[in-house]
Amino acid sequence: MQECEGFTQGTYYSIKCFDKENRNLQTSIDSLLVDFDLTASIFNPNSIISRVNNNDLNVVLNEDFINLFRLSMEISKETDGAFDVTVGQLVNAWGFGTQKRNELTVKEIDSLLQYIGYKKVWLEGKVIKKEYRAIKLDFNAIAKGYSVDKMGSFLESLGIRDYIVDIGGEISAKGSKNGKNWVVAVERPALGKMDGQQSLLSIPLINSSLATSGNYRKYYEKDGIKYSHTICPQTGYPVTHNLLSVTVKHQKTAIADAYATAFMVMGLEKSLAFLKNHPELEAFFIYDENGKMKTFEVGKWAYDN
């Protein structure tokens, strides 16, 4: 089994695969991920998304950017805006993007909301059009999942059928590991920043993908209040409900990634109502009920060791 590891999109990546030709894939994988960073990273001033956000008239959209944008618009429409890549201005203002956190007032948040809304941006040919020049896109809630799928497609183009790709906890597994299922863990939410990662549940991932979104990793505290990095596009504020994390299963990692974020915005009750009409999605919810951690699952999550 070949293992490739490294750093991308502000996080780790780990790829394990069985290649009959025993090729050295590290350089090719690193190159593909660097190229993808030049497409979707808001932290790279020369990336396509950064140039779109800065209204660069000379920017040329590539296939990955167009695919990301189209898929984002589809999921935004499906979730009635719970998932929305136009949240860039809010993400920055709350200190989770490219800027330091501001001390925001209600008036300032209200003023930023005019730049939020997936219906305010569209694709015209191969050009992004905006209702306001100040609108800023942010693919962070779907980019890792998309890049996992991209790595999987690369491996399959080489004839590799047994692999697992993990980029920052968004995972896709195909085939098997020496004839056995690939097994992945659902992380138990940390109660504090000093808590280590603990596995809550181990499941077989069979020709499928998994993505997790949670409010326990990226947040800050002020005056005893936790402010999550998950921003509600409708209100302009970090979400405050009792949902701690959501793990979603789907055939495509990008779709699982986006819906995990959407469900964190929706909260438990709205997410469960949504899932009744979307049998293609499975989800594992971890939430706080009066100080006690509870779970709720939609789909097959039990695993008998």
Question: What is this structure's pTM?
Answer: 0.92
Confidence of residue 194 (pLDDT cuts 50, 70, 90): very low
Contact indicator for 207, 228 with CB cutoff of 8 Å: no
Task: Give 4's contacts (C-beta < 8 A, 6+ positions apart).
Answer: 13, 14, 15, 16, 25, 26, 29
Note the pLDDT of residue 177. Answer: 95
Note the pLDDT of residue 152. Answer: 98
Q: Which of the two residues, 222 and 31, has the higher pLDDT score?
A: 31
Amino acid at 173: A
- Using CA atoms, how far residue 289 sits from 45, 262, 296, in Å, is 42, 21, 12
Q: Indicate the angle between helix axes 26-40 and 63-78, nearest 10 degrees.
A: 60
Task: Give 95's contacts (C-beta < 8 A, 6+ positions apart).
Answer: 101, 102, 220
pLDDT reading at 305 higher than 80: no
Note the pLDDT of residue 303. Answer: 61
Task: Report the chain's mean pLDDT, rounded to a whole number.
Answer: 90
Q: Indicate the angle between helix axes 143-157 and 63-78, nearest 10 degrees.
A: 130
What is the tens place of the pLDDT at every residue in 104-114?
Answer: 788 999 999 99
pLDDT reading at 241 higher than 90: no
Contact indicator for 171, 184 with CB cutoff of 8 Å: yes
* Range of weakest confidence among 64-68, 90-94, 135-139, 185-189: 185-189
Amino acid at 267: G
Note the pLDDT of residue 219. Answer: 47
Note the pLDDT of residue 104. Answer: 77
Q: Which of the two residues, 281 and 242, has the higher pLDDT score?
A: 281
Note the pLDDT of residue 150. Answer: 98
What average pLDDT does the segment 30-46 reach? Answer: 96
* Range of weakest confidence among 107-111, 184-188, 242-246: 184-188
Longest CA span, the chain:
61
Q: What is the DSSP letter of 101?
A: P
What average pLDDT does the segment 109-127 reach? Answer: 96
| Residue matched to tokens 């509870």 | 294
Note the pLDDT of residue 199. Answer: 75
What is the tens place of the pLDDT at every residue in 13-28?
Answer: 999 999 999 999 999 9
What is the tens place of the pLDDT at every residue in 196-240?
Answer: 556 788 899 999 999 999 875 544 455 444 555 789 999 998 888
Note the pLDDT of residue 281. Answer: 97
Note the pLDDT of residue 99. Answer: 60
How many Å apart are CA 103 and CA 304, to the nearest integer?
49
What is the tens place of the pLDDT at every residue in 263-276?
Answer: 999 999 999 999 99
pLDDT reading at 88 higher than 80: yes
- DSSP string of 119-142? GGEEEETTEEEESSTT-----TTT
Q: What is the DSSP letter of 160?
A: -
Domains in the chain: ranges and CATH:
60-130 (1.10.3980.10), 181-298 (3.10.520.10)
Other beta carbons within 10 angstroms of residue 299's beta carbon come to 13
Task: Report the SS3 class of residue 199.
Answer: strand
Tokens of 224: 């005893």
